[in-house]
Chains A and B, each alone.
Chain A
């Protein structure tokens, strides 16, 4: 990594948004550097952000800003990319959504972001997701992990019903189910029949790594 590349990674990982964006745009638009290389640098920076989050140095605000910076650089870089050259390696597919009856999405969005920067292909199907939508998406996307999110206590029953429907459809053995959200604990996991629960995005990433055999 040359000095300029090193600096971009450092600026992104240190939340220096203005300077990071200025440098990234200069590299892409003025210096015509390889956009795939710039995105690779972004990924490296996000690795650092993710580690700092795991270590308790960064919190939700840093993840949100990191996501914003990534999105802004992506918006500049992606039109410059020869689409035939894309297709980064991914560890596996994770389908995620907030169960029916619940409209909350902050926790789900953070989990989606953390899984994405950790190399998983994530499909986020939104909030208040009906059971039949989950089942349809599972058929289409073929995830190895399904994440059910919920903040309200009503989500306990929605999760239980959703997981029971996976059983009834005979598709349950094709993937692992993890649940998460403000009130989720082992009691709720046992009640819903999920394979595991996580109290934060780091635990969600760890579960997916474990299930998909990804080394840390």
Chain B
């Protein structure tokens, strides 16, 4: 098992950098504009290895990600090792929701999500009634091969006294026994991967680089849409299964909130990264957004704030039309990272409520020149940072995989040149 995660003693550079992030969150002026670093497969390009090696070779990935942090000296970093080195745990669990190098895509390609219907519309009731049983018997066997025998896992509620003993019998069946063995073996790999991730985080913190988030989660609607019903299924549910959908979103919210708070506490870090997938302007009407998407996520953020956490949603794509709605949270408690939403506009609407993060465009980062990157940083400094915006500079959604190293250098250099 992992040893308990505690904040290590760190040198003052760490504290100064961490203070910049906390100042931004609290809407106070930090001593300079912080720059965050997040990337996954860009590290393969940076380190001169294949995407497959990045995902599988723990030692190389730890060294390359550490080298990049030391070279660019960001003010805060994502848990970079953990988000890149996923190959062995995906393989150990026989994970079905991604294709990754050697498993459906080539050695130099990134992993990609498989949008499928992992839960049928007629299963809403089962999910809501007994989520644990639904996970054990239906959901987990569909998303990880190691759980294939768990469709036989006994129903636990209703067991009592000697019936609880008799109820163990399915665990003796060959398919379930085999499955249990595979789960235990996979858990060992997961433990190894997470231990290495924790060690990497602590090593970087000790060298002065705070994590910008210690854990991550999803929004209730998004988790149900992406990982259960599939995009098409969920969009049909908005018409065909309205009430069941709302009920399931609420159950998802309760369980997600509980797990999110527990994970953040275990990571000993208040900031929780939340990639947001279904909020974009084009994905649903304002009415649908206000009915199906926003209330559960807002409540989840409020509960997280109540637990002294700092939600950091990454609003993917263009969410300009949502800005007035997502403004409705307590000021000084969140970081809103925007992917394609104009940060100048976001600052106008949200500048007195949240810290902002982002958002140099992927097309410019990958195909542009260092001079263009410099100009784009300057534009954000002039129009957001110098106008009082509490901006944590970053790319739109991590450094794009194909970005030339000189463009990354230009981003960090320009930040220091124009904003301290």
Contacts and interface: CB of A to CB of B under 8 A. Distances in A.
Interface of A: 15, 17, 57-61, 64-65, 68, 101-106, 152-154, 156-157, 182-185, 187-188, 191, 200
Contacts of B285: 57-59
Most A-side CB within 10 Å, residue of B106, B110, B112, B368: B112
Most B-side CB within 10 Å, residue of A65, A106, A187: A187
B235 A157 contact: no
A65 B283 contact: no
Given A59-B283, A64-B236, A153-B363, 5 more contacts: A61-B283, A65-B235, A152-B401, A154-B401, A156-B366
Interface residues of B, number: 31
B324 to A, nearest CB: 16
Given A61-B239, A64-B232, A200 B282 contact: yes
A187 B240 contact: no
A101 B284 contact: no
A153 B236 contact: no
B389 interface: no
B109 interface: yes
Contact of A191 (B110, B283, B367): B367
A102 to B, nearest CB: 8
Most A-side CB within 10 Å, residue of B105, B284, B363: B363
B288 A59 contact: yes
Interface of B: 99, 105-106, 109-110, 112, 114-115, 231-232, 235-236, 238-240, 282-285, 288, 317, 361-364, 366-368, 400-402
A154 B44 CA distance: 14
A182 B317 contact: yes
14 contacts: A64-B236, A65-B238, A68-B236, A103-B114, A152-B110, A153-B363, A154-B109, A154-B401, A154-B402, A187-B361, A187-B364, A187-B367, A191-B363, A191-B367
Nearest to B238: A61
A58 B369 CA distance: 39
A184 B318 CA distance: 13
B115 A153 contact: no
B239 A65 contact: yes
Contacts of B366: 153, 156
A30 to B, nearest CB: 24
B244 to A, nearest CB: 15
B120 to A, nearest CB: 16
Contacts of A68: 236
A184 B364 CA distance: 11
B284 A61 contact: yes
A65 B233 CA distance: 10
A60 B284 contact: yes
Nearest to B231: A106
Nearest to A127: B112
A29 to B, nearest CB: 22
B239 A17 contact: yes
Contacts of B402: 153-154, 156-157
B363 A156 contact: yes
A146 B220 CA distance: 38
B363 A187 contact: yes
A101 B109 contact: yes
Given A59-B288, A65-B239, A156-B402, A185 B363 contact: yes
